[in-house]
Structure 1
Amino acid sequence: MNISRLIFRLNVGLLVSLTMSCAGLHSTTQSVDTSHQSIAVAEDGTLLARHAPIFVIEESSKEFNRIGTPAVRPDNSGNPDVYVDPNQPTIYAMEQRFKNKDRDFTNLIYRVHFELTPLYHLTAGKNPGLIIIVTLDQNNRPLLLTTVHTCGCYLAIIPTSYLPQWAYPPDWPQETQDIYGESLPSRFVFTPTLNSQQKFVLQIRSKTHRVMDINLLSETDPMATINPVIATLKPMSALSELPFEGSQLSFFETHGVRKGYVRNSYKPLEKLLLSWWSLDWRVGEDKDLGPKDQTGTTFYTTLKFWEREESDLWNFYNFLQYWGWDL
């Protein structure tokens, strides 16, 4: 283990223990007096809470780095303005079931959003987010961890020791994998006796919200927390029910050519540099995840325009096959 990862483990390990015992805690407004901050959900006995990842936010004193809560406010003309409130963290979650022959699998899908990615970054724009998927086998053991930005970019798939080697893509790296400049683990090793306690911990880079490291921690690890904050865990459907002046508004556009895209999620630099050769005028814009006939968008994870359907994250089994995995 390298020094930076060891320091990271020492800094956040005990947060797992905290979340195991804080089911009665209420969410709190995020503090801004430290450079790093840990975000977790309280245990409530559900599968979604049990496997919810822990987030460690770099430079959390900057509002645009913090996990927030999508909300609606009136603009100067009284029209709805959808934004992400950085003062309260919310993690949205849902379960997805899928089959392969006689085997059943469960995806635990988590989604978080940030206020913005600042200028001078390729992904600059408002309301960006991350999706994290924990894939479980029939015994609720984690097989895969998948992370991706809500625009479909920076995809990473990491197997665990519960996934047999024959299911891996050919020539899978032994220790780390490069994800567009970020070095992430190529495999997680679970301790069977601690399986009910171990959690994924994602370290989130300042400004770009890239996943810069991932660890697997349990309550037995050496511990010292950094300003833990308990996030609200809400169903994914809550993103379509944002309160606004006695009514509700979806976080996503519901009509027109931008149906299924996050409101206000324009990405001018990506449009300028990538749209012409990827043949997608809305490349890089954040979007909903779900069946295309309902959301209006395909959550593709490749820039190869002729393979968008095959790489659709929602059709998870086909998505895995496209990227070389065989469950």
Structure 2
Amino acid sequence: MSLRFILTLCGLALLIGCSTTTPLPNPEPRICDGHLQSLYHQARDRGIADVQEQPLSPFPYLRADRTLWSLLGDLQTESQRREWLEISLELGRQALRSDHANLGSDHPIDSLENCLEQQSQHLIQDASWPERLATIPYPSRYRTELQVIGLYPLTSRLMGLPLQDLHEELKSRFYQGPQLPTRQYQPASPARLPPGQIRQWLTEAYQRSHLGLPVMTPSRQQQLFAHYAPVWEIEQGGDFDLPGAPRWLNDEPGVNPLEVVTYTHSSYTRWNNRWLLQLSYLVWFDQRPPASNWLDIYAGKLDGLYLRITLDERGQPLLLDSIHPCGCYYSVLPLQTSLQLKTEASIGEPPLLLKPAQYQSGQRLRVSISSQDHMLIGADWGRKEADANRYQLQSSDELRRLPWGAGSQNLFSSPKGLVSGTQRAEKILLWPSGIESPGAMRQWGHHAIAFSSERHFDDPDLLQQIFEAAVNRQDGSD
């Protein structure tokens, strides 16, 4: 590794480290601005500040995710800036409500949210802030200083060596399918939308948006989540295979299997010059138990599985992809022949490519999960839904303010968005990747999903990074 490379990385680390504030115009002094600042600093100093999205300093509760950040260069009109800020405002509201609840603040939340709206209005007429903000990169979840110390150009190759064997093992388990006994869980309200309804809603959403984002109303979004909510089929080997709602017990994370919940999150991705809607479903387990009496570097408290469905502009499923809440085991399952995985030479570390059963319109997706390590071992449609246990759908925002004693507590801690107590011994081997505590469970927006490359699960360009258009055709129908 050359001295030039080391100096370049060190310089980049310093640049990123210095870019902690954003060049936005300061608001006119108001008493309520001080209240928001005070609340934010209290939460930050106590290590409980919500860090799902990036604050827009000096406005601690105006927030932006990677999607909004990627749009900064496109904000040419007041209507576009207004829509961008409306989304930023809603992201900020969730962070504000979480910090307010977790601090047990007695300041009226309504007045704080009103002040937040005033701060948003302050920026609408200013056409210059998007360009200034765009000069700062969105924070990476890879720490450059760790890569420098860990000789990343060399160790990244070593970390990539076991990948092919791991992928072959996981493919074999996927095509073999689940082994009995299994237990199935289906949504408590398995509502299905009539044919053509989703396409109509998406058409209307595209027409409303000045940014090209298919933003759904809260009611329609909930109906979409219910429509596509999967049946979970889980191998049963012990209590560690029972899904549930995360909770804190004696300051340790775990799940309550009597409260079966699947958590939802919506996001957007770019494909063929269009923004597409993504629906994510997250199921939690109490732990990943050791595979044997010997040291298992992957075992630890809490485990889970993310399943994300990307819809094309007509509302047809285009892609399934999946990770564990640590960001590990990134898998892609194309549902249309128009998607073709790029070569490894062009994308770096390849994802696990799986071929699910052909999509069946009108049928519910069934996702199979293995016992103990909770791997994705099946995805199909069309089978009759058997009598199953029921689960509730809840927004993943609920994880940011879990009931705890007489108040609430964020499942994720600041400033890294990790779940305390879920560290894995694998970090001893994988820290040169630059990922903070590899194997630990973490919050949305903090999932680095490659060890020998750099890739983020919430990157709106992820689909374009790893796939190319194979043919120009339309698949499926309503």
Instruction: Provide the TM-score with structure 1 as the length reference.
Output: 0.70
Show the counterpart of 1:157: 332
Separation in structure 1 between the aligned mates of residue 305 and residue 318 of structure 2, nearest angstrom: 20
In the other structure, the counterpart of 1:24 is none
Match of 1:48 among 210, 221, 225: 225
The separation in 2 between residues aligned to 1:64 and 1:47, in whole angstroms, is 30
Please tell me whether the aligned partners of residues 59 and 206 of structure 1 are also in contact (alpha carbons under 8 angstroms): yes
Structure 2 residue 192 is matched with structure 1 residue 35: no
Q: Give the conservation status (yes or no) of the 8 Å contact 2:253–2:301.
A: no
d(CA) in 2 for partners of 1:111, 1:212: 16
Q: Please give the root-mean-square deviation of Cα atoms over the aligned residues, in Å.
A: 3.0
The whole-number CA distance in structure 1 between the counterparts of 2:175 and 2:375 is: 16
Q: 1:64 aligns with which of 240, 264, 278?
A: 240
Residue of structure 1 equivalent to 2:457: 313
Work out the CA distance in 1 between the residues paired with 2:469 and 2:439: 28
Q: How does 1:91-170 map to 2 (within 5 A)?
A: 91-100=262-271, 102-120=273-291, 121-161=296-336, 163-164=337-338, 167-170=339-342
In the TM superposition, what are the counterparts of 1:179-218 in structure 2 within 5 Å?
185-191=354-360, 195=361, 197-215=362-380, 217-218=381-382
TM-score, normalising length: structure 2: 0.49
Distance in structure 2 (CA, Å) of the matches to 1:242 and 1:281: 24
Q: Which residue is equivalent to 2:429? A: 273
1:175-234 per-residue CA deviation (whole Å, 9 max, x = no partner) reads: xxx987xxx74254234xxx1x2222111111100111222x23xx4x473x51110110
* Percentage of matched positions with identical amino acids: 22
Q: Pick closer, same or farther for the CA change 1:171–1:204 going to 2, 3 Å.
A: same
Distance 1:264 1:187, change over 3 A: same
What runs of 5+ residues in structure 2 fail to find an aligned partner?
Answer: 1-171, 193-222, 345-349, 471-478
CA distance in 2, matches of 1:171, 1:188: 23
CA contact (8 A) 2:335 2:359 kept: yes
- AA aligned to 1:289 is W
CA deviations over 1:101-128 (Å, ceiling 9, x no partner): 6523100011111100112444201111
- Alpha-carbon separation, structure 2, partners of 1:171 and 1:99: 20
Q: CA deviation at 1:279?
A: 4.1
Decide whether aligned partners of structure 1 residues 212 and 6 sit closer, same or farther in structure 2, where only a CA change above 3 A counts. closer
Q: Relative to structure 2, which stretch is displaced further, 62-71 or 98-107? A: 98-107
CA 1:280 to 1:135, structure 2 compared with 1: closer, same or farther past 3 Å? Answer: closer
Unaligned runs of 5+ in 1: 12-33, 173-177, 291-296
Contact conserved, 1:38 with 1:228, CA < 8 A, in 2? yes
How far residue 36 of structure 1 moved from its aligned partner, in angstroms, is 1.3
Work out the CA distance in 1 between the residues paired with 2:330 and 2:410. Answer: 26
SS of equivalent residue, structure 2 residue 443: coil
Q: 1:28 maps to which residue?
A: none
Matches within 5 A, 1:224-303: 225=386, 228-255=388-415, 259-268=416-425, 270-275=426-431, 277-280=432-435, 282-290=437-445, 297=446, 299-303=447-451
On the 8 A contact 1:110/1:132 being kept in 2, the answer is: yes
Structure ranking higher in strand proportion: 1
Whether the 8 Å CA contact 2:243–2:260 is kept in 1: the answer is yes
Contact 1:64/1:86, CA 8 A, preserved across alignment: no
Alignment partner of 1:81 out of 227, 238, 252: 252
Q: How many residues are matched?
A: 258
Larger Rg: 2
SS for the counterpart of 1:274 is: helix
Quote how far apart the aligned CAs of 1:315 are.
1.2
Contact 1:158–1:188 under 8 Å retained in 2: no
2:175/2:377 contact within 8 Å kept: no
Residues 224 and 198 (structure 1), Cα distance of their counterparts in 2 relative to 1, 3 Å cut = closer
Residues 37-83 of structure 1: CA deviation (Å, up to 9, x unaligned):
001112246000111111111015x110111111123x2xxxx4332
